[in-house]
Amino acid sequence: MKRVVLKISYLGTAYHGWQVQPNGITIQETMQNALEKMYKKRPDLTGCSRTDAGVHANEFYCHYDTDQEINERGIVLGLNALLPQDISVLDAKYVDSDFHVRYNAKGKNYIYKIYNKELKNPFISDRALHIARPLNIDKMNEFCKEICGTHDFYGFSSSGRTVTDTVRTIKECFVYKDGDEVILSVTADGFLYNMVRIITGTAIAVSDGIINPYDTKEILKSKERNRAGITVAPHGLYLNKVFY
């Protein structure tokens, strides 16, 4: 058996997240359907993360094991011919059998896109959160500086979390403007359930003057979810890069 790692990207609008589930079509299921058509067998497919319904990925990794020999370019072209237009295989590599896309990951970078203009844009309505009022990027970046470092992010995660260790290290967090979009970028060694969406909601609350950025450390220490900002909608969130 040989292990293949796929680098993919996808628009998550039509999917109920990555992981196979009974109530809707997912990225994992769609990928497995394509793999089954190509290999005439249905392989187990392991992903580097569990993105939620409506969340997108600029870069996502998954792996499977196979006893069939197809060259790497053939895998890429073959799968792309079988997959819908909103999922793309960018690369395929044969790797050592002990490589694991989830456990070997050293960190991830997520971005959250906000369309920050008075009138909505129907062409990106499922790809960025629309906020009509002007956002204060300087204030948002003050919050971002405060949240960097190693902290217990229990209060910045939702009740659906599946882990007991809620300490994470944010290595970099900042907000910048790109045309009509305001983008929050955050890089960490790992993320809790809804953590990026809550960080973004808190940054927006700081911009609006609802939360003082210099209260961030106290909010973290309190572990009280209601002291942070709202959980913003999923459609502005992108898994942007995975570090190995």
> Which string of DSSP letters, residue by residue, matches 22-78?
TTB--HHHHHHHHHHHHHSS----EES--PPTT-EEEEEEEEEEESS---HHHHHHH
Selecting among 44, 52, 67, 152, the annotated active-site residue is 52
Q: In the annotation, is 165 catalytic? A: no
Please count the other Cβ atoms lying within 10 Å of the Cβ belonging to residue 6.
Answer: 23
Q: Which of 160, 173, 178 is nearest to 202 (CA)?
A: 173
Q: How far apart are CA 93 and CA 61, in angstroms?
A: 11
Q: Which residues are catalytic?
A: 52
